[in-house]
Structure 1
Amino acid sequence: MPDPTPRPVSPRQRNWPAMLAIAAIVATLALAFAWTVGWLTPHRLTPQRFTDAIQDANGQVYRGFRRAHAKGVCVAGYFEGNGQGVALSSARMFAAARTPFVGRLSIGGGSPYGLDGKARVRSMALQLTADDGQQWRMAMNSFPFFGVATAQAFYEQTRANAPDPTTGKPDPARQAAFAKAHPEFARFAAWAKTAPWSTSWANTTFNGVNTFRFINAAGEGRYVRWSMQPQTTFEAMSAEQRAAADADFLSEDLTARLAQHPLRWDMVVTLAEPGDPITDPSTPWPASRTHVTVGTLVIERSAPQANGACRDINFDPLVLPRGVQGSDDPILAARSAVYSVSFNRRERDIAGGRAEAATGHAAPKGDTP
């Protein structure tokens, strides 16, 4: 006859359910990670693969530097709302008060040693911090619209611009094939070829080409795009002037101007109308749309990026305050994801450089931009 007395349960047996649950969680996280980085779907476009393509297009990895827009300077100052934005958004930055910011002015390209006169694209990135601690990060460029409409097309454009190992230059046939496959790129190519170059960051218009949604205190929403329009008079720069210019003429010009007075840009918000493309940053909205000037950005000082306050900021355009939301623009989501991967790689570069220095080995050049 079996013994009716139950046998004691060992600690290991009592812990089995918890151990199985932990194992299941770990397995789920591992699968999620594998999916995110593309190990389970090798042909799926991931932020990691996109960042790899950017590095390939640069021709080499500049350790410790941003993978895109590697050359730039830190700037700081304030944004002063004029009250006109309050009806559009509940973001505190639009009140008639000053909001401090840390920012960065840069040029396009992945080399921190690029020549200013060769860089077609110039950029402005900002981190505004309201009095309640909320942040608004912006990433704007000198082009008035994006080159392509989707993240996949942007990836293909990046790969088409990668240098051929045998020539050190992009393959013209590959670039032509990309342009044929994406006819919308012709509009951007025409801008790059014909639009005048400015002589300074100070007289450059910086555009947030992606669409966002402003929400006011009443809960009413409007789709918008915005730009920073300079109060400094525009001056065009000829090809001959660019060829003769110093490699760092933009930062030198900025330093000289700031020694005389602060530099100002008006923030101009464009309001979408029904039918305007919300998810396609390659298509500009009609010039007839309503424009509202909501405040003024004032740059008071600059500093080298190696030790400036902008050095360790990821200017993720989806870090937004209450009253501002992202849209379903796929390029906006792609920029946010790739910026994160690039930032993490840069931080690992810097940490690796510090470790090398601590062990007596030389830190990599440019390990703290």
Structure 2
Amino acid sequence: MPAILYRGSLLLGSMAVFATATLYFAGAFNRDAVTAPKFVDLQQGDTPHAGFRRAHAKGICITGNFESIGALSSYSIAEVFKKGSTPFYGRFSIAGNNPTAPDLKAPVRSLAFAVNSGTVDEWRVAMNTPPVMAVATPEAFFQQLQALSPDPITKQRDPEKITAFFKAHPESKAFNDWKADYVPANSFAAERYHSINAFYLHNELGDKQAVRWVARPHKATNNAAMLDTSSANALQQELASRLDQNAVKFDLIFTLAASNDDENNPTIPWPSDRQTINAGTLSIVSWHNQENAACGDANFDPLVLPQGMSATADPILRARGAVYAQSYRRRAKETLLGAKVSATNGGE
């Protein structure tokens, strides 16, 4: 198949897959399904923070370049993997729906970025510190969030409810093993961030290869002396201090699935002996407050993929796009209404 026709078919296929997944998770095919609005209702809690993300509400914007070494160009026709430099913008964040939460209290940290923004070759990435999910379906993930949600009266989590959930879901073993051993770094720059879900790479011959990837810190020091543990913004301040001195760098290490690896189940780690390829380096050169930069309004939907990449059938991956979109619509509407109110009040 000629390359141009193949690229066109990939694009159309990706659009169809995204539309189907969005309709499914929005509840169009099953009235009893866990819908995106229900999911976001649970994430935001009883008192939403207007204008902010329903998950990972607190973050800091970053900009820089992805320096590709071309090592993935035989696996994917994506422009971003050709040898060269491409600007990106992105965001470090912590888990939770509170935009003023203490950085050091969050159990999960995240890295998101967008390369080739606004083009047909745009690649949006949303990564987290856990290497796997605890469960494999949107329905089970919804139940997990319910189990972890604080009691509306006591505002405390119920340990018995949490224990019962994980006992009923033995597939969460790999996640819980990671959680038991995980020691948070003293810096956003010293963490490892994982794609968690798998994706396909497509080359010019139409071959596809399932992959996961990790952002591995590039010579980052985990220096406790740089961290002001008394500050609610400790990680953001530490990152700003680092960037005042040097760029912060991560290598993007792709793991290639073998034929017996299940790319559709995000709870299963792939064996450590799988082939890995260093695609290049994310070089972060500046930071900005999220209220005044592109990342603040951005929707880092991982289903926005360039030609040469596509989504697997992983049901959680397919569901993420609809949830991200629902959260985005809510905060965009709140921001717009807030702006109208400010204008009516003379800009106060």
Q: TM-score, normalised by structure 1?
A: 0.83
C-alpha distance 275-117 of structure 1, shift in aligned 2 (>3 A): same
The Cα of 1:218 is off from its aligned counterpart by 2.0
C-alpha distance 263-111 of structure 1, shift in aligned 2 (>3 A): same
C-alpha distance in structure 1 between counterparts of 2:34 and 2:158, whole Å: 22
In the other structure, the counterpart of 1:55 is: 44
C-alpha distance in structure 1 between counterparts of 2:158 and 2:186, whole Å: 30
C-alpha distance in structure 1 between counterparts of 2:23 and 2:303, whole Å: 24
C-alpha distance in structure 1 between counterparts of 2:180 and 2:227, whole Å: 15
Contact 1:117 1:245 survives alignment (8 Å): no
Counterpart selection for 2:279 from 286, 294, 299: 294
The Cα of 1:144 is off from its aligned counterpart by 1.2
Does residue 352 of the first structure (1) align with residue 340 of the second (2)? no
In the other structure, the counterpart of 1:154 is: 141
For 2:92, the aligned partner's letter is L
SS in 1 for 2:99: coil
Specify the structure having the higher radius of gyration (Cα).
1
The Cα of 1:194 is off from its aligned counterpart by 2.1
Does residue 145 of the first structure (1) align with residue 136 of the second (2)? no
Question: In terms of mean alpha carbon deviation, does 181-190 or 202-211 score higher?
Answer: 181-190
C-alpha distance in structure 2 between counterparts of 1:300 and 1:355, whole Å: 35
Deviation >6 Å, runs of 4+: 33-36
C-alpha distance in structure 2 between counterparts of 1:38 and 1:328, whole Å: 18
C-alpha distance in structure 2 between counterparts of 1:319 and 1:101, whole Å: 15
Contact 2:228 2:234 survives alignment (8 Å): no
C-alpha distance in structure 1 between counterparts of 2:189 and 2:107, whole Å: 16
C-alpha distance in structure 1 between counterparts of 2:73 and 2:59, whole Å: 32
- Per-residue deviation, residues 295-335 of structure 1 (Å, max 9, x unmatched): 11110101000111111210000000000011001110111
Contact 1:202 1:232 survives alignment (8 Å): no
The Cα of 1:130 is off from its aligned counterpart by 7.1
In the other structure, the counterpart of 2:34 is: 45
The Cα of 1:131 is off from its aligned counterpart by 10
Contact 1:99 1:131 survives alignment (8 Å): no
In the other structure, the counterpart of 2:242 is: 257
CA RMSD of aligned residues (A): 2.5
Q: Give 1:117-266 correspondences, 5 Å limit.
A: 117-129=104-116, 134-233=121-220, 235=222, 244-266=229-251
- Per-residue deviation, residues 24-59 of structure 1 (Å, max 9, x unmatched): xxxxxxxxx999755996532111111111112xx5
For 1:254, the aligned partner's letter is L
In the other structure, the counterpart of 1:15 is: none
In the other structure, the counterpart of 1:17 is: none
The Cα of 1:72 is off from its aligned counterpart by 0.3
Q: TM-score, normalised by structure 2?
A: 0.88
C-alpha distance 49-361 of structure 1, shift in aligned 2 (>3 A): farther
In the other structure, the counterpart of 2:292 is: 307
In the other structure, the counterpart of 1:30 is: none
C-alpha distance in structure 2 between counterparts of 1:210 and 1:144, whole Å: 9
Name the count of aligned residue pairs: 327
SS in 1 for 2:162: helix
In the other structure, the counterpart of 1:104 is: 91
For 2:137, the aligned partner's letter is T
For 2:204, the aligned partner's letter is A
C-alpha distance in structure 1 between counterparts of 2:224 and 2:164, whole Å: 31
C-alpha distance in structure 1 between counterparts of 2:269 and 2:24, whole Å: 35
C-alpha distance 163-130 of structure 1, shift in aligned 2 (>3 A): closer
Contact 1:99 1:130 survives alignment (8 Å): no
Contact 1:147 1:188 survives alignment (8 Å): yes
Gaps of 5+ in 1: 1-32, 364-369
C-alpha distance in structure 2 between counterparts of 1:76 and 1:40, whole Å: 40
Question: In terms of mean alpha carbon deviation, does 243-252 or 343-352 score higher?
Answer: 243-252
C-alpha distance in structure 1 between counterparts of 2:329 and 2:202, whole Å: 32
